[in-house]
Amino acid sequence: MRILVTGVSGYVGAALAPALEREGHRVRGFARSPERVAEAGVVLDELVTGDALTGAGLEEAMDGVEVAYYLIHSMEGAAGGAFPEQERRGAERFAETARAAGVRRVVYLGGLVPREGDASRHLASRLAVEESLLGATPESIALRASIVIGARSRSFRFLVRLIERLPVLALPAWRHNRTRPIDGRDMLAFLVAAASAPAALSGRSWDIAGPDTVTYEQLIERIAESMLVGRPKLGLGFTMTPLAAQFAAAVAGEDPALIEPLMEGLEHDLLPRDDAAAGAFGIRLHSFDAAVERALRDWESTEEVAAR
């Protein structure tokens, strides 16, 4: 089938497009910058240049498409932290265009949400986007994941850089909260399966998660162990997320506009509602430690991980 992959220059899109082609699908990419697509190593017969947030190029991109993947976020570059409204408008525009073009299914990758307590700005925005996209067509599918463990995953790379560069790991109060990280290979397998999943699995969201539950403190400890480094830890009784995010982003060489919303999401457990997704989509899950080892090995194949 003909499939549209947006955000094809990003971590997820750049891996998904060739994976779908290997399954025999005809893939059309959509991105703001052809140069960034080339830098990501993605080669496609069809690439439409445009901007999903403004709608530029969307009609052309969706022409003749059966399944469209929405792999876009706009936390960076949104003035004054206004990304939730920007993301909502972009998702609504995408859904409207997909409906008008007769797209059969939209597939969206969002984030796990807390079972208790209010969702952070980032996760609440993901839910609003999910609602718009699930309403685009009756057969749409939303997948919700926690931290993705992969060599190009910015969340994973951020943690590795902090472990590398900080002599002491200061862990805020959210260190005791729990989550279920997912191997990037498993996340990709879910996305590929979603394209041709039976209609009985559509029209809803699915929580996708790895098999291992870890606290954020354990997550950092086990990444450090795989990196063969030891770092003393300092447990803090507070969060101070805005200040901590600025400091952590500077240490890791990341954008604070991305890191602060991500860190806000750590203030509650982020666990799946159930474990039905793996069986429903036929996915065999990798363990957390296997995921970390694979991600570090893939990273080291192109770039040195200084602490190793």
This prediction has a pTM of: 0.93
- CA–CA separation, 146 vs 58, rounded Å? 29
First-to-last alpha carbon distance for the chain, in angstroms, is 43
Average pLDDT of the residues in 180-188 = 98
Entry field: residues in the chain: 308
Supply φ then ψ for residue 114, to 5 degrees. Answer: -70, 145
Is the domain defined by 2-150+182-209+271-285 classed in CATH 3.40.50.300?
no
CA distances (Å), origin 190, targets 42, 98, 102:
20, 22, 24
Report residue 240 CA to chain centroid gap.
25
What is the tens place of the pLDDT at every residue in 218-234? 999 999 999 999 999 99
- CA–CA separation, 53 vs 83, rounded Å? 11
Supply φ then ψ for residue 139, to 5 degrees. Answer: -100, 15
Q: Give the pair of three-digit tokens for residue 31.
A: 């991105």
- CA–CA separation, 246 vs 28, rounded Å? 37
**Nearest Cα residue to 262 out of 244, 277, 274, 283:** 244
Q: Which of 250-271 are b and which e, b meaning 16 or more Cβ less than 10 Å from the residue's Cβ?
A: eebebebbbbbbbbbbbbbbbb
**Domain-by-domain residue ranges, the chain?**
2-150+182-209+271-285
Contact 130, 149 (CB under 8 A): no
What is the tens place of the pLDDT at every residue in 29-48? 999 999 999 998 999 999 99
Contact 206, 141 (CB under 8 A): yes
Percent of the chain with pLDDT over 70: 96
Q: What is the pLDDT of residue 79?
A: 45
Is the pLDDT at 240 greater than 50? The verdict is: yes
Q: What is the pLDDT of residue 222?
A: 97
At 52, the pLDDT band (50, 70, 90 cuts) reads confident
CA distances (Å), origin 147, targets 65, 155, 199, 285:
30, 7, 28, 15
Task: Tell the residue number behind the tokens 């190029």, with chain if given.
Answer: 57
Percent of the chain with pLDDT over 90: 78
Angle at 180 between CA 299 and CA 74, to 5 degrees: 65
Residues 6 or more apart whose CB falls under 8 angstroms from that of 291 comprise 149, 150, 181, 182, 183, 184, 185, 186, 210
What is the tens place of the pLDDT at every residue in 248-274? 999 999 999 888 888 888 889 999 999
What is the tens place of the pLDDT at every residue in 67-105? 999 998 765 554 445 677 888 888 999 999 999 999 999
Residues 6 or more apart whose CB falls under 8 angstroms from that of 70 comprise 6, 7, 52, 91, 94, 106, 107, 108, 109, 129, 133
Angle at 261 between CA 260 and CA 267, to 5 degrees: 95
Residue ranges of alpha helices (H) inside the chain are: 11-22, 34-39, 58-62, 83-101, 121-134, 154-165, 184-196, 216-226, 241-252, 256-264, 276-281, 288-300
Average pLDDT of the residues in 166-173 = 93
Coil, helix or strand for 80?
A: helix
**Nearest Cα residue to 271 out of 220, 229, 223, 208:** 208
Span of 70-79, 126-135, 195-204, 264-273 with lowest mean pLDDT? 70-79
**Nearest Cα residue to 81 out of 268, 262, 267, 269:** 262
Is the pLDDT at 128 greater than 60? The verdict is: yes
